[in-house]
Structures are given as C-alpha cells and as structure tokens.
Structure 1
Amino acid sequence: MKSVLKLIRPHQYLKNGFVFLGPLFAHHWDLVTLSSAIIAFFSFCCIASSVYVLNDIVDVDADRAHPVKRARPLPSGGVSIAFAKGLLVALILVATSLALTVGAWAACFVLVYFLINVLYSLRLKHVVILDVFIISSGFMLRILTGTVGLGIAPSSWLLLCGLMVTLFLGFGKRRAELLMLESCGGDRALTRKVLDDYSPQMLEQFIAVTAACTIMAYGLYTVSPQTISLHGSDNLVYTVPLVVYGMFRYLFLLHRQSKGNDTAKDLVQDSHLLITVLAWVSTTLWILA
C-alpha cells in the first residue's frame, strides 16, 4: 500500500486546488457550485494520479538511472508494471465518471488533460520550452474546469496570473533538476533528455521574466476597476506582499536549500512557504467575504 501511495502521489493533489479559484474569485459560493467544484477536484486527483502512473511506466528505464527517481515504486520493483497498468485504467474510469457528473465541459477538460499528458510522456517532454508550457496547460485546464466547467465565465486576469505563475514554477522545476544533477554528477541524457537543451543562464532568465510577469499581473488585477467593482473592495492589493514574499521564498529554497523538484512537497515541508500560502488564502477569503 505504501508503494501504491508513492506511485499515485496524493501529496500532489494540492495542485488541484486551482479548480477552486474560479468560484472563489467569481463569488460563486453557493452549495451547488461548491459541491460541483469538490467533485471536479477529486476527478482531477484521479486523472492526475493516472498521469503519474503513466509517466512512471514510460520512464521506468530512465528513472533507474536517476539519483532520486530510482527509489520510486516501479524502477525499484516495489510495484509491478502489470499492476500499474491496471491501476492506470481504473483511475481514468473513475476520473471520467466523476467529471461527467459535473458536466460535459468538465469531462472534456479532464480528458484533454489526460491526452495532453499522454503526448507529453511520449514526445513533448523532450521539446525544450514547450515541455514547460505543456505542464502549465494542465493548470490552465484545472482553472477552466473550475470556471467554464461550472458555468462561470473565466476572468482574463485569472487566466493570465495562472499562466504566469505556473510557467514560473515549471522553469523553476527545470532549474532544480539541473542543480540536482550538477551536485550529484548525474547524466542528463539518462534522466531527462530535454535538460541538454537548457542552460542555467537561460533558465534564470525565464524564471526572472515569469516571476516579474506574475507579480505585475497579480498587482494590476488587485487594483483593476473591474476587480474593485466585482468585489466591492479595493483591499485585495494588501495581499500582493504575500505573493511577492512567497515567490522570493521559493527562489531561496531553489538556490539555497536544493528544493524545487516537487513544489507540493516543498509547500508542505517549508513552514515559511506554508504559512505564507495559508495567510494569502485566509486574507483573500476575508476580503472577498
């Protein structure tokens, strides 16, 4: 059971919280909408786990040569390939069934998420820059499920901020992988081929650009007349320092604590980052309510 839990990575379910951003910022807090959002959340939990299982099946040989990933259930032999394939099918069926109870659009976004990740696992993860955009698209599909999938018109500000912050985290992950391989002497070609096309200097520029765009987009959103009119308050601007601090803390963890490979785990394990995120969520809820 422990190996199965490692295979499906339940700690990564934190990322599916993007589904709730639509109802939160659109003030759709009624029971029906929130219930649908919760079902959509669990649907993405299942489909995300299916993607992790698929990736591990495809990458099992490369993971055996990775200094960290060799301890995963499939490359280490903790779970058989046959069992993993059966689990993959079951997770897809459950995810699709849950999404269909929410609506056709939600099911469509969940299936598109899976298909994109199939292409990612088979080919697109080897295409420089596009690989990170594919990762970002998964978060955008979560946001769309929490908006269009629930009958809520998506905010252009929400989509822009979501795109920028997920690109920032994606390029940060690639930088963390390079740092880890440099420190342990791993072979890029055996672990992740696309790392051959990245350089530390290039990734630092990408990270700087996306970090600046995230802060600027979110800051402009909080002072936008449309935002102030919708929420009936101009106090959302006071959450900007929390966003800035959270991003700077993440960069500190990336460069000085050898973090960044697993954002969800970093969030849970680093008290500063966790407190910052909780403070942002609670402050935002208090302002919007």
Structure 2
Amino acid sequence: MKDVISLLRPQQWLKNGFVLIGLIFSHGWSEPDLVRQVALGFVAFCLASSAVYVLNDYFDREADARHPTKRHRAIASGAVSLPAARMLMLGLFGGALGLPAIGGHWGVLLAVVSYLILNMAYTLHLKHKVLVDVFCIVAGFMIRLACGTYAVGIIPSRWMLLCSFMLTLFLGFAKRRAEIVSMPDTELALEGGTRIVLRHYSAQLLDNLVAITASATLLAYGLYTVDAETAAMHGTQHLVVTLPIVTFGVFRYLYLLYKGGSGEEPGRDLLADNQIRMAVLAWLVVVVLLVRT
C-alpha cells in the first residue's frame, strides 16, 4: 500500500488548489451549490492527476530504472507490477471522469477530459519538445483554474488569469533548472534518458527564464492588488499590503532553488519549507482580515 500511495503522488495534489482560486476570489464560498461543484472538481482533478502520474511512470519505467533516484519509484523498481499499475490507472481514470458525469457537472467533466488529453499527449510526445514541455505544464494549471471558474459559472478576472499564468511559468522553468543542475552530464547525454528535453536547455537560459517569470509574477500580482476593479470586488483598497508577503515567498523559493537544491518537486518544496508555509499562512490571514473588514 505504501508503494501504491507513493505512485499516486498525494503531495502533488496541492497543485489542484488552483481549482479553488475562483471560488475564493469571487467570494463564492457562501453559495453551497458552488462550493459542492468546486469541491467535486478538486477531487476529480486529484484522481486525474494521480492517473497521469501512474501513466507517466508506466511509460517511463525503463528510463527511470537507469536513473540514480527515480529507479526507486514503485513501477521502475518492480514494487508495483505492470498489471496492478494498469488496473490502478483505469480505476483513477474512471473515478476522475465518473464523478462529474454522475453529478451532471458537464463543465467540470469537460475540464477533466481536456486535462487528461493534454497530459496523455505530454507523456507520449510533448514533454520532449523544448519550451512546449513547460507550456504544457502551465496549460494544465490553467485548465484547473478554468474548472474552478468557468465550469461552475464564475467569471475570473484578467488579473487572476495573468498572475496564475506567470506563476506557473515561473515554477515550471524553476523545475527544469533544478533538474538540469542536479542531473549528471552522462545522464543528459544518454539516449532514452528520463529527461531528453533537458539536452535542449542550458542552466544559463533557464536562469534568464526564471528571472523573467519571477519578475513578471510579482509585477502582475502588484498591479492586481492596486487595480480599481479588485478594490471594488473585495471592498478594500489595501490588498497591496500583501505584496511584501508574496515577494518574500517568491524570493524564498528562489533561495531554495539556488542554494538549497530544491525546485524539482514544487509541491513538496512548498509544503516542506517552514518559511514558505508561514508566508502562505500570513497571506491568507491578511487577505481574510482585509476582505471581511
């Protein structure tokens, strides 16, 4: 069971929090029907994302077996058999599609189907295309956001879309930067390696892309907090006081990326670092206090 749980990557379910963003920033938490639909979307995406991880590990099992750390993954190591992995995959796909279908939430179902199609294409082909690989990851986050907004009748603001887009680009390029730095040159040169696309990147290029997207993320969030529409929606002109908290969080993540050897697993890194956890908690508290007052 421990190997099966590790195969599902439950620590990565944090990424599905993007489904909840629309509900939070539209103040829709007071409407039970919206809450139920968004909660259903969140669960469906947790099942879908775990199905994608199993699919990816299934197809990458031979390359993972040659990797110094990935060889310990459940399928690559043989801890979970191939028939068991296929059965688990089918169950997860069925649950991800069945939940919204049974409930008649067709917008959520469309979002989940789009996410699964995108990630199957990513696993089978697109993850080997430079830059396209990261934009596919970003598209997955934007589909989650769409599920939590358009799919349940909430109209997202342009700032929400822009901030989410730049943040996920930043995390995607940071992930690639951490991978290329930690991977030996022999692995990068190996045909059929686990990250063929890394041969087309360089640490210098990724440093530039990380710097650009980090700056754009902070700029977009700062503009969001001082926008007149934002003030009218939330009933406060003081959301800008959260900008230093967000800035600290981004800078802390950059520190972990360049000094702490983190970045390969953003979900794990965000949960593991005490200072980032405190920054997220402080941001939530300040936002709730400002919106309520």
Q: TM-score range by the shorter chain?
A: over 0.9
What's 1:181 paired with? 183
What's 1:42 paired with? 43
Matched residues in 2 for 1:248 and 1:102: separation? 43
Matched residues in 1 for 2:271 and 2:146: separation? 26
Which deviates more from structure 2 when the two are superposed, residues 241-250 or residues 120-129? Answer: 241-250
What's 1:261 paired with? 264
- Describe the shift of the 1:116–1:19 C-alpha distance in structure 2 as closer, same or farther (beyond 3 A): same
Matched, 1:239 2:246: no
What's 2:63 paired with? 62
What's 2:93 paired with? 92
What's 1:196 paired with? 199
RMSD of aligned alpha carbons: 1.3
* Runs ≥4 residues deviating over 3 A: 184-189
The offset of 1:118, in angstroms, is 0.4
Amino acid at match of 1:254: L
Question: Does the CA contact (< 8 Å) of 1:188 and 1:195 recur in 2?
Answer: no
1:33-182 aligned at under 5 Å gives the runs 33-100=34-101, 101=103, 103-182=105-184
Question: Does the CA contact (< 8 Å) of 2:22 and 2:145 recur in 1?
Answer: yes
TM-score (normalizing by structure 1): 0.97
**Percent identity over paired residues:** 43
Give deviations 1:197-252, integer Å, cap 9, x for gaps. 00011001111111111100110000001111111101111111111111111111
Matched residues in 2 for 1:85 and 1:245: separation? 43
SS in 2 for 1:191: coil
What's 1:275 paired with? 278
Matched residues in 2 for 1:96 and 1:274: separation? 32
The offset of 1:155, in angstroms, is 1.4
Matched residues in 2 for 1:211 and 1:2: separation? 36
Question: Does the CA contact (< 8 Å) of 2:188 and 2:198 recur in 1?
Answer: no
What's 1:209 paired with? 212
The offset of 1:102, in angstroms, is 6.1
Question: Does the CA contact (< 8 Å) of 1:102 and 1:150 recur in 2?
Answer: no
What's 1:4 paired with? 4
The offset of 1:62, in angstroms, is 0.9
Question: Does the CA contact (< 8 Å) of 2:58 and 2:85 recur in 1?
Answer: yes
TM-score (normalizing by structure 2): 0.95
**Residue-pair matches, total:** 288
Matched residues in 2 for 1:74 and 1:225: separation? 52
Matched residues in 2 for 1:188 and 1:181: separation? 10
The offset of 1:15, in angstroms, is 0.8
